[in-house]
Amino acid sequence: MSLSQWRIDSSHASRAARTADSAAYSPPGFSNVGQTVQHHVEAEQSSDQQEHLMKKRAWDVAMGPGKSLPMNMFMMYMAGRSISIFPIMMVAMMLWRPLKALFSVNSTFKPLEHESTGSLLPHKLVFLLGNCGVVALAIYKIHTMGLLPNYDSDWLEFVPEARRIQYTLVGDLFV
Amino acid sequence: MKIHLLLAGLAIGASALYEDQVGKFDWRQQYVGCPTQVQIDRRGKLDRYIVSTAENVVASLSMNTGDIVWRKVQEDVGNKEPKHPLVFSGQKNVICSVSESGKMVRLWAKRDGGFVGQQLLGTVESSHAPFVTTTADTCLVLSHNRAIALSLKDASKLWEVELRKSDWVAARAFDGGFAIVGGLKENNEVHVKWVDTKGMQTLNKILDVNAFNPQKVAFTGSHLVGFWDSTVYALNILSDGPDMKIEAKGVAETVFETFALTSENFVAIRTKSRVHVLDVIKGFSKVFSLPSEAEAVSEYVNKEGKRFLASVHGNRLSLYQVDGDKELLKDVVFDSELKRAPAKQLIIGGGDKEWEFLVIGADCRTDHVVADITVKKAALEWTREEGLTRIGSVELLDLPLSESQAAIETEFAVDEKNILASFAHRIFSQLDQFKKLIARSADTALELALNMKQMKSGSFSDLLNSVRQSARKSHSGGQPLERDVFNLRKLIVATSLGGSIYALDNQDGTVVWRRYIGADIQGFETIEGKTKIPILVQRTTAFYNFDAQIVVAYKRNGIGHLLFLNPVNGKEVDHQTVDNARRIDLLPFVDGDHLHHVITVDRTNQVSIYPKLSADAIEKAPPVHLFDVNSVNGKVTGYRLDLTTNRLTETWAHQLPHWEDSTVVAIAGKPASERTHSQGRVLADRSVLYKYVNPNLIAVGLLAKSAPQLNIHLFDSVTGQIVHSARLPKVTAPVYMVHCENWVAYAYWTEKGRRTEIGILELFEGDEQQHVETFDSEEPLKRPLHVEQASFIFSQGISSMAVTETEQGASNRAILVSLPFGNIFEVNRRILDPLRPMELTPEMREEGGFIPYMPEIPIATEEMLNYNQTVHHVNGIKTAPSGLESTSLVFVYGLDLFYTRATPSGNFDVLKDDFDHILICIVLAALFIGSYVCRKLARNKALQQQWA
């Protein structure tokens, strides 16, 4: 406690010093103007590149789920049809991730929103389709594992007993 | 493949008992049957009764406790009494018994029932009642009109002598050999033959009698004593030469019965009013007359040669000394029960001060009475309910709601008109329930505390044991008759062909109440040839504001009687008589009192309903149909019941094929209460094969005699349509059939394979369900039925067959089979399944649950429901659902009674039996307390550290 009774804020001081003397201490022959021009040119160039990159990145993001489809297919093939903890976990993850992604389309594309990239609607659509594809793959996998109640046999226990219309007396017949 | 089968078998057989569960859910009661002959065995310290019974059993009963010391069960006589009861005679060490109406002689050691030897006398029943007498080394058997002497050492035949044709025989040993006497009714003759110990005839004499009747003779000592009208005659078979003649004398009154007494030369006759003792030698002079009426009389000679006479009337016992004409006991009450069956037989065990008596009632109840002649008091020491060996019908009934359950019912029973009042009512009733709960838990706590106080050593395991014991104590015994949580406790109501109705507690088999209807009653003969005294449950105990009601139907002198009873206490509610009843059943619907009405149909198809139906009930009644199989002409007829006119209108009729040389072996319908939970079967490709569950389906089994074959016809009793017919060639009796849900299982003996087989026939509608919401028999089937059939080898004989029943019908069914060597075997429907595949395909293996077909039904000892508690001469198996879906209650009756629980799908809805609630509770409590204490300690420690 006693040590922190006073202190020097060096960062604060140095910044003040730098801003104060930035113009005065320029070396001879140094032109601030030229530099800005060059900077301008470079900025123009880089903003083009940036735009391109942004678009590319947006498409990358949009195509991501679609691209992972073959890989997922292979994984599912490898997982097998037996119902045990690991295949179940894998399938559940496979179902869960795209579902989560489906509900966060806007937040996924939020960092890519820029006037340069323009409308992201097609990207979002592709992204949606890709995710849907993965979900469909997962559901197909669940189906092949027999976990989907889509057979009559799965609903058999809910079929009620038929009500009888007529009654018959079935007691013993005596001689 | 073998491994698969083994695994499947293991998976199914996992319901076997553990050693510590023995006797936990099950009990067995062993009986000997209705005693016909009793001897007293007083050698050594243990006094015993040696009895032979109508059920072909020779047994030794302990005189002190009434327990069976040893019991020798011989050939099964079925539901019917044998033509001639088993007779026996014993000397000091060996008993010689003649069973199966004279077919078989067996020798038994008297003390331990050890088998000494046997000899087959014939393959047919003897025309006359067999007789047996013993000397020190020989056993003389009179059977099939022959006298056969057997060695008592090894049952080897010593000699054999032909006798004249007779319908009554007796013999007596004397110094030089045996004197054999016989009589023939049609010739009115009596013949006497003397045979020496080597089998040589020394005397042969034929005498004429005025009227010889095998029912009206007795054999006492050396005398044959008989009577006609009011004349008594006697013949001394030991008097030689011209002395041997029949002496006759008229008595004042008509004689009803003569019976032998223990002492020689004396005979008792029963006239209309009295029993008299006559001295045969002194010209039939009256020695003694019983001063009062008597149902059974017996004589006893003590060591000093004094003669005593005892008689029973109702629940009173009298004892007289004959010589001094002294009255030792006079009408001493030995049983508080007033409505006792009349005594059939009385045996005097004798004694000095305390006399022992054995009273055998007409309903086979056997009472051991000890009477003190100084204080003139008698007491019932033990009772054996031997009438339970001849059960005519059984029902398992729910017990009435307990007090707390009824309180819950009343809590919601208030009409909803006044909200405030009903709210107050609910509050008060809940307060009441809470009060009761507190009182009950206080009681248990007190008991626990007392137990702990008694405990000496304070180890943890002792504490646990005492807690467990007190928990167990509060669960069993001494409780009032009320329903438990899972409705596992039931009342077994059984009718005995001996003439009584019994109610047993299913927890331990104790008799809750007993009601004697009369030894002269008969059961109803069914077409299949069984004798039944049907019990019908009119109202269960499910309604707390109405008493339960059952009806018992029996015949007396050919007239049918309906006895309406409250099954909980056995009190009579009503009584009706019905004439010529061919059918006694319950109407499938209830009236306003939740009561199923009893319907009787007589030979002329006249319908009577008890009690009468109200107009309202008739209006609401669903259509009711009946069917009838005529055992004379083989016609099957369907009727529709018209409740307004109480008439039957014929709807269909057809002739049973091959009726002429066939017998009906089984008619099996399905009870209205039966439930089918699953409407289909799932196949390997996950498609569904829908079941054809026709509640009106009747299965009839016909056994053809000339060309042995079994025909099974399944027909709809509403329309008469034959749904399916099956023919099994080269099949003979015994046939047993079970009809349930959409399948029929049948056990039979195949001549071709010379083995017992169980067949199963299952009906399916196909892959589309036709009867979805309602089942209407009138609606024709859209597609032909899909019938699956299979048969399996059963490597044991079968003596009875039944199927388990559960509340919702969701558990697997199992077929219970009683085996002749005394076990009850459970065959799961998964094994007895016509859809078992011939070979397992990969898909099936993946789906699981398929057991490939194997011709044999494996008999695993773990699946014996009664493990080593064998039961003999099983007549039937009764199953009933409990409150737990997994559990079916099983009651097996025959010579022995056995009760247990069956869980064909395993105990899926209850915790394991050894689940330790108490330990878990204690551990949990300890953890909670521990964590609290530890938190406090830790806080203290932290504080102290900071101060340090």
**Do the chains contact at A164 and B628, CB–CB below 8 Å?**
no
Question: What does DSSP assign to residue B93?
Answer: S
**Do the chains contact at A166 and B624, CB–CB below 8 Å?**
yes
φ, ψ for residue B683 (rounded to 5)? -95, 180
Across the interface, of A152, A167, A175, the residue whose CB is closest to B525 is A175
Residue range B226-231: average pLDDT? 84
pLDDT tens-digit profile of B813-837? 999 999 988 999 999 999 999 999 9
Q: Which residue has the higher pLDDT, B15 or B748?
A: B748
Residue B360 has pLDDT above 50, yes or no: yes
Q: Judge contact between B739 and B801, C-beta under 8 A.
A: no
Q: Judge contact between B60 and B49, C-beta under 8 A.
A: yes
- Neighboring chain B residues of A172 at a CB cutoff of 8 Å: 524, 526-527, 530, 532, 534, 583, 667
Residue B369 has pLDDT above 70, yes or no: yes
SS3 A48: helix
Residue B394 has pLDDT above 80, yes or no: yes
Share above pLDDT 70 across residues of chain B, in percent, rounded to a whole number: 94
Q: What does pLDDT average to over chain B?
A: 86
What's the gap in Å between the CA of A9 and the closest CA on chain B?
A: 37
pLDDT tier at B140, thresholds 50, 70, 90 = very high
Across the interface, of B599, B670, B774, the residue whose CB is closest to A162 is B774
Provide the b/e sequence for B497-509 (b: ≥16 CB within 10 Å): bbbbbbbbbbbeb
pLDDT of residue B687: 87
pLDDT of residue B251: 79
Q: Which residue has the higher pLDDT, B132 or B457?
A: B132
pLDDT of residue A31: 65
Query: Which residues, numbered 137 to 166 in chain B, qualify as contacts with chain A under a Cβ-Cβ cut-off of 8 Å?
Result: none
**Do the chains contact at A170 and B589, CB–CB below 8 Å?**
no
**Do the chains contact at A171 and B672, CB–CB below 8 Å?**
no
Of the residues A152, A166, A175, the best mutation for testing chain B's interface (the one with the most B CB atoms within 10 Å of its CB) is: A166
Residue B695, amino acid: P
Give the residue from chain A lying closest to B680, CA to CA: A156
Question: What does DSSP assign to residue B326?
Answer: E
**Do the chains contact at B718 and A168, CB–CB below 8 Å?**
yes
Farthest-apart Cα atoms in chain A, separation: 135
Residues in chain A, total: 175
- Neighboring chain A residues of B532 at a CB cutoff of 8 Å: 172
Please name the residue that has the structure tokens 């339970």: B388
Residue B299 has pLDDT above 90, yes or no: no
Report CA-CA distances (Å) from B479 to A5, B27, B489, B494, B507: 84, 18, 11, 22, 11
pLDDT of residue B834: 93
Q: What does pLDDT average to over chain A?
A: 77
- Neighboring chain B residues of A81 at a CB cutoff of 8 Å: 846
What's the gap in Å between the CA of B312 and the closest CA on chain A?
A: 38
pLDDT of residue B487: 87
pLDDT of residue B464: 66
pLDDT of residue A20: 47
pLDDT of residue B599: 93
pLDDT tens-digit profile of B56-100? 899 999 998 999 999 999 887 665 667 888 899 988 889 999 988
Q: Judge contact between B200 and B159, C-beta under 8 A.
A: no
Residue B127 has pLDDT above 70, yes or no: yes
pLDDT tier at A1, thresholds 50, 70, 90 = very low
What's the gap in Å between the CA of B527 and the closest CA on chain A?
A: 6
Query: Which residues, numbered 629 to 648 in chain B, qualify as contacts with chain A under a Cβ-Cβ cut-off of 8 Å?
Result: 629, 631
pLDDT tier at A2, thresholds 50, 70, 90 = very low
Q: Judge contact between B658 and B678, C-beta under 8 A.
A: no
Q: Residues near A128 by Cβ (< 8 Å), separated by ≥ 6?
A: A102, A105
pLDDT tens-digit profile of B723-766? 999 999 999 988 999 999 999 999 999 999 999 999 999 999 98
**Do the chains contact at A171 and B695, CB–CB below 8 Å?**
no
pLDDT of residue B936: 95
| Any A CB within 8 A of B842 CB | no
Residue B554 has pLDDT above 50, yes or no: yes
Q: Is the peptide bond before A70 cis (omega within 30 degrees of 0)?
A: no
Of the residues A144, A154, A167, A175, the best mutation for testing chain B's interface (the one with the most B CB atoms within 10 Å of its CB) is: A167
pLDDT of residue B10: 45
For B710, other C-beta atoms within 10 Å of its C-beta total 26
Please give the structure tokens belonging to residue B592.
């306003």
Distance CA B296, CA B366 (A): 13
**Do the chains contact at A163 and B775, CB–CB below 8 Å?**
yes
Query: Which residues, numbered 521 to 540 in chain B, qualify as contacts with chain A under a Cβ-Cβ cut-off of 8 Å?
Result: 524-527, 530, 532, 534, 536
pLDDT of residue B781: 87
Residue A39 has pLDDT above 80, yes or no: no
Distance CA B343, CA B356 (A): 16
Residue B7 has pLDDT above 50, yes or no: no
What's the gap in Å between the CA of A56 and the closest CA on chain B?
A: 47
| Any A CB within 8 A of B696 CB | yes
Residue B939 has pLDDT above 90, yes or no: yes
Burial status of residue B475 (CB atoms within 10 A of its CB: 0-12, 13-18, 19 or more): exposed
Q: Which residue has the higher pLDDT, B552 or B1?
A: B552
**Do the chains contact at A168 and B625, CB–CB below 8 Å?**
yes
| Any A CB within 8 A of B655 CB | no
Report CA-CA distances (Å) from B945 to B714, B935, B936, B939, B941: 89, 15, 14, 10, 6
Residue range B178-187: average pLDDT? 88
- Per DSSP, what are the bridge partners of residue B898? B28, B892
pLDDT tier at B232, thresholds 50, 70, 90 = confident
Distance CA B764, CA B767 (A): 9
Which range among A102-106, B96-100, B144-148, B718-722 shows the weakest confidence by mean pLDDT? A102-106
pLDDT tens-digit profile of B431-448? 888 888 898 888 888 877
pLDDT tens-digit profile of B560-591? 999 999 998 889 999 999 988 889 999 998 88
pLDDT of residue B876: 92
Instruction: Let me know the angle formed at the C-alpha of B805 by B803 and B807, rounded to the nearest 5 degrees.
Output: 170
Query: Which residues, numbered 151 to 170 in chain A, qualify as contacts with chain B under a Cβ-Cβ cut-off of 8 Å?
Result: 151-154, 156-157, 159-170
Q: How far is CA B3 from the centre of its chain?
A: 41
Q: Judge contact between B734 and B796, C-beta under 8 A.
A: no
Residue B2 has pLDDT above 60, yes or no: no
pLDDT of residue A137: 87
Q: Which residue has the higher pLDDT, B326 or B182?
A: B182
Residue range B349-362: average pLDDT? 87
Provide the b/e sequence for A86-123 (b: ≥16 CB within 10 Å): ebeebbeebbebbeebeeebeebbeebeeeebeebeeb
Q: Judge contact between B549 and B538, C-beta under 8 A.
A: yes
| Any A CB within 8 A of B846 CB | yes
Residue range B97-112: average pLDDT? 90
pLDDT of residue B474: 47
pLDDT tier at B495, thresholds 50, 70, 90 = very high
pLDDT tens-digit profile of B683-728? 888 889 999 999 999 999 999 988 899 999 999 999 999 999 999 9
pLDDT of residue A6: 61
pLDDT of residue B475: 46
pLDDT of residue B97: 93
| Any B CB within 8 A of A149 CB | no
pLDDT of residue B946: 93
Residue A16 has pLDDT above 60, yes or no: no
pLDDT tens-digit profile of B497-543? 888 999 999 888 899 999 999 888 989 999 888 889 999 999 988 88
Residue B478 has pLDDT above 60, yes or no: no
Residue B8 has pLDDT above 60, yes or no: no
pLDDT of residue B791: 94
Across the A:B interface, residue pairs with CB atoms under 8 Å apart total 131
pLDDT of residue B396: 93
